[in-house]
Amino acid sequence: MFYYFEELTSTIDEAKDGRYRHGDVVVADHQTEGRGQRGRVWSAPAGENLMFSVVLDTSRLRTGDQFLLLQAVAMALVDMFAGYGLEARVKWTNDIYIGDRKITGVLIDHSSGPGGMLSRSGVGVGINVNQTNFEEWLPNPTSMARETGREFDRREVLTRFHERLLARFAMLDGEESREELRRDYHSKIYRLDTPARYALPDGGEFTGIVRGVGRGGELAIEHSGGALKHYLFREVSFVIQI
C-alpha cells in the first residue's frame, strides 16, 4: 500500500513503524529532517519531487547480502528511468546519475535478525522529478523535467519504480538471478572503464579507471601502471567537474 503524508520528519524513520509491511511505501511531500548519504540532509520543494521509503522483508537475506539489495534498488531505478527514455548510471555507492549530474539518492536502513540474518529494511529514495531550480550549494543536480523539458506525474513515476523494485528484489531468491543482477549492475556503473579523477580523504587526487565493484561493494580502480586497488565506502570519492 501507498501511504501519503504532507509532512514527515523523515520517511525512512516513519517506515520503521511495525504497522508497515513488505512492499508498503511511505511518501512525504516535505521532510523536515530528511537524511541523505554521509549524514547530509535531503530536502526539496514540496510538491515537485519524490521522497519516499519502501519497506522490504529481508529476513531471507544474510547481513553480508546488503550490497546485493542495494544493487537491486539501483537497477530498479535504472529500469524506471529507461522507461522514460533516460539513460541512468549508478555512481558508487548509491547515487543515480544522468550524465554527470545527480538525479536520485538512496539510503537503506537495515534491522538485523537472529543468526546473522537481516530482518527488514527501509529503502529511502529521493528522486528529482519536476524541480528545475536548485540551490547554488548543490554541486551537480538534475531532474527528470530538466533532462526532458516536460513535467511528470509523480504518482506514476513512483508506481513504475515500485513495480521494478519488487521485480528486482525477487531476483535475490536464486543464485542465477543474483548473477544476472550483478551483471546488469556492472554494466551501468558510472565511469566504468573510463579514465577519471578521484579524491582521497587526505585531500590527494589521482587519475584512475573504474574496473568494477566487488561482491562486498568495494570499488576497484586501476591506477597508472596497472595496479588494481579496492576502496571501501568513504575511502575514495569521484571528482565531479561540470
What distance in Å separates the CA atoms of residue 84 and residue 156, rounded to the nearest whole number?
A: 11
What distance in Å separates the CA atoms of residue 73 and residue 145, rounded to the nearest whole number?
A: 22
Q: Which three cell numbers stand for residue 133?
A: 531550480
Q: Classify residue 15 by its DSSP letter.
A: T
Whole-number Cα distances in Å, 4 to 11, 22, 47, 66, 155:
10, 16, 12, 27, 10
Q: Which three cell numbers stand for residue 25?
A: 511505501
> Comparing C-alpha atoms, which of 80, 113, 114, 87 is closest to residue 101?
87
| Per-residue confidence (pLDDT) for residue 47, from 0 to 100 | 87
Are β-strands 95-98 and 205-213 bridged in parallel, bridged antiparallel, or unpaired? unpaired
| Per-residue confidence (pLDDT) for residue 135, from 0 to 100 | 87
Locate CATH 2.30.30 in the chain: 195-238
Check residue 149 and give left, alpha or beta (phi > 0: left; psi -120 to 50: alpha).
left
Q: Which three cell numbers stand for residue 152?
A: 511528470
Backbone angles phi, psi at 112, to 5 degrees: -95, 150
| Per-residue confidence (pLDDT) for residue 34, from 0 to 100 | 64
**pLDDT tens-digit map of 138-170:** 889 999 999 999 999 999 999 999 999 999 999
| Per-residue confidence (pLDDT) for residue 131, from 0 to 100 | 96
| Per-residue confidence (pLDDT) for residue 38, from 0 to 100 | 44
**pLDDT tens-digit map of 29-56:** 999 876 554 445 555 677 899 999 999 9
| Per-residue confidence (pLDDT) for residue 138, from 0 to 100 | 85
| Per-residue confidence (pLDDT) for residue 241, from 0 to 100 | 76
Whole-number Cα distances in Å, 188 to 19, 99, 127, 211:
35, 12, 18, 12
| Per-residue confidence (pLDDT) for residue 37, from 0 to 100 | 45
Top-level class of domain 195-238? mainly beta
Top-level class of domain 2-187? alpha beta
Which own/partner contact pairs does 45-48 have at CB distance under 8 Å and 24+ positions apart? Answer: 45/131, 46/6, 48/129, 48/130, 48/131
Q: Which three cell numbers stand for residue 210?
A: 573504474
Are β-strands 25-31 and 2-8 bridged in parallel, bridged antiparallel, or unpaired? parallel
Contact status, residue 45 vs residue 22, Cβ threshold 8 Å? no
| Per-residue confidence (pLDDT) for residue 191, from 0 to 100 | 97
Ranges of residues in the chain whose predicted pLDDT is under 70? 34-44
Locate CATH 3.30.930.10 in the chain: 2-187
Helix axes 154-170, 66-82, angle to 10 degrees: 140
